[in-house]
């Protein structure tokens, strides 16, 4: 079993290394004061320090269900299982479906690929195109699969977003099969222009929709969830209990207190969207200036810019770049081509973005 390149890199980079590697939010945008106040309120109640229920803190499940309803996707708290990050949500589903075959996008999220391997799943990867997963390949692979794992919103690693027409086509194909969709949506609120309807919304009885507060509030909280039909959700509860009994009661209550002020969360999301779009534009401008041979498409949301240096072995390149104090993730780590790269544009400061790309330029021009 290979460890995650990103998690290993995070352990080995020095404080002077400029990292475009992890899917990390901008630290300066964490709502620290509001979360401090939420933690203070939560800790006024000694019950916050007690064991909690396996499926999660009831008032938080109500808030999450309400969020789906506001988006026009009817949901009750019984449809929600709170998990320790959406990573655990995916792990729970895959442990339950141990050994199943699964259709995935190529490239796909590294943390998911590892879960599939650990759970002896057979994956069929289908190329991800501009509008979404290639339809013909998807249709063929679905016929031999029990599950499909898709990241339709600002995908990790490619940054791509499925068009509305493509979402509908995918939903129709899945509906006509016995397949279950696992829709991973940690970036769905980080759109620069407009939100998209989830595919799960069109398949309420045939989908697991994974959500998370990691990218929109803080990953350290480790609060995520699975939204699914009660029949699909119920057998997962025993797996959740076996793994950690329940997600941290303190952080669930912190999130719940924070969300009570509905307008401040919406304002925070809007701040993130504006700030990340600005950083994305700056990153692209610096790429065009220092690394004009890098071929990419500007993302419409999320945290990543994906592209390629035609013919360059980016696994070798990243080792040279590490020695110069800058790091990114080679596309091959996600099942992509050897000359592809994923850059995270949200974590680094504007100065670091310019400096990091200059360092990559100096490595390339010395080769
Ligand atoms: C597509 C995808 N799914 C899941 C996760 C895990 O997120 P969480 O912090 O909610 O466990 C990530 C994190 O980068 C991700 O990119």
CA dist 198 → 149, 161, 162, 166, 189 (Å): 13, 11, 10, 11, 11
Expressed in angstroms and rounded, the spacing between residue 363 Cα and the centre of ligand 1 is 31
Give a yes or no: residue 94 inside a domain: yes
For ligand 1, which residues put their CB under 6 angstroms from it? 23, 85-87, 109, 111, 151, 156, 184, 186, 212, 214, 219, 224
**In the block, which residue shows the tokens 């013919």?**
311
Residue 86 CA to ligand 1 center (angstroms) comes to 6
Looking at 218, 244, 260, the residue that finishes a domain is 260
Indicate if 134 and 202 belong to the same structural domain.
yes
- Give the integer Cα–Cα distance in Å for 40 and 33: 11
So what's the pLDDT on residue 367?
82
**Residues 256 and 314 occupy one common structural domain:** no
Give the structural domain span for 14.
Answer: 5-23+264-366
pTM (whole model) above 0.75: yes
C-alpha to C-alpha distances, 255 to 31, 90, 228, 270, nearest whole angstrom: 11, 21, 21, 18
Question: How many structural domains does the chain have?
Answer: 2
96 and 238 co-located in one domain: yes
pLDDT band at 286 (very low <50, low <70, confident <90, very high): very high
Residues 255, 269: one domain?
Answer: no
Domain boundary among 228, 260, 292: 260
Percent of the chain with pLDDT strictly greater than 90: 93
Question: Does residue 28 form part of some domain?
Answer: no
**Whether residue 2 has pLDDT greater than 80:** no
Shared domain for 231 and 341, answered yes or no, is no
CB neighbour burial string for 78-101, b if at least 16 within 10 angstroms, e if fewer:
ebbbbbbbbbbbbbbbbbebeebb
Question: Is 143 inside a domain boundary?
Answer: yes
Domain termination residue (choose one: 242, 260, 278): 260
CATH code at position 195: 3.40.640.10
The residue-averaged pLDDT of 331-339 equals 94
Q: Which atom of ligand 1 is nearest to the CA of 222?
A: 9
Q: Do 222 and 287 sit in the same domain of this protein?
A: no
Judgement on whether residues 210 and 245 belong to the same structural domain of the protein: yes
43 and 129 share a domain? yes
Computed over every residue of the chain, the mean pLDDT equals 95
- Whether 18 and 71 share a structural domain: no
pLDDT above 90: residue 170: yes
Tell whether 95 and 111 lie within a shared domain: yes
| pLDDT (average), residues 12-24 | 87
Confidence at residue 10, expressed as pLDDT on a 0 to 100 scale: 65
The token pair at 163 is: 């068009």
Binned at pLDDT 50, 70 and 90, residue 18 comes out as very high
């Amino acid at each position: 079993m290979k460890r995650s390149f990103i998690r290993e890199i995070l352990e080995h980079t020095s404080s002077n290394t400029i990292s475009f590697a992890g899917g990390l939010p901008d630290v300066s945008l964490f709502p620290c004061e509001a979360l401090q106040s939420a933690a203070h309120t939560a800790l006024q109640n000694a019950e916050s320090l007690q064991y909690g229920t396996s499926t999660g803190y009831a008032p938080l499940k109500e808030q999450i269900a309400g969020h789906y309803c506001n988006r026009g996707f009817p949901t009750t708290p019984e449809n929600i299982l709170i998990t320790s990050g959406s990573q655990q949500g995916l792990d729970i589903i895959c442990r339950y479906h141990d050994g199943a075959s699964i259709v995935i996008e190529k490239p796909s999220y590294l943390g998911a690929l590892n879960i599939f391997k650990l759970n002896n799943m057979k994956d069929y990867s289908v190329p991800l195109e501009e509008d979404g997963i290639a339809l013909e390949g998807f249709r063929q692979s679905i016929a031999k699969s029990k599950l499909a794992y898709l990241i339709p919103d600002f995908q990790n690693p490619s940054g791509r977003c499925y068009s509305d027409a493509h979402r509908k086509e995918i939903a129709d194909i899945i509906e006509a099969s016995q397949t279950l969709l696992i829709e991973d949506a940690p970036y769905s609120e980080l759109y620069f222009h407009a939100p998209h309807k989830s595919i799960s919304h069109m398949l309420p009885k045939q989908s697991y929709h994974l959500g998370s507060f990691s990218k929109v509030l803080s990953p350290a909280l480790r609060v995520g969830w699975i939204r699914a039909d009660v029949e699909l959700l119920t057998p997962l509860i025993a797996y959740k209990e076996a793994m950690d009994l329940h997600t941290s009661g303190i952080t669930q209550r912190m999130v719940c207190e924070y969300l009570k002020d509905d307008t401040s969360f919406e304002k925070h999301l809007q701040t993130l969207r504006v700030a990340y779009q600005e950083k994305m534009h700056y990153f692209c401008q610096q790429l065009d200036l220092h690394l004009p041979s890098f071929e990419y498409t500007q993302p419409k949301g999320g945290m990543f810019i994906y592209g390629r240096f035609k013919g360059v072995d980016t696994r070798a390149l990243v080792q040279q770049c590490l020695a110069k104090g800058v790091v990114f993730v080679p596309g091959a780590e996600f099942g992509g081509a050897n000359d592809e790269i994923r850059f995270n544009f949200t974590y680094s400061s504007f100065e670091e973005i310019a400096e990091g790309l200059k360092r990559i330029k100096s490595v390339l021009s010395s080769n």
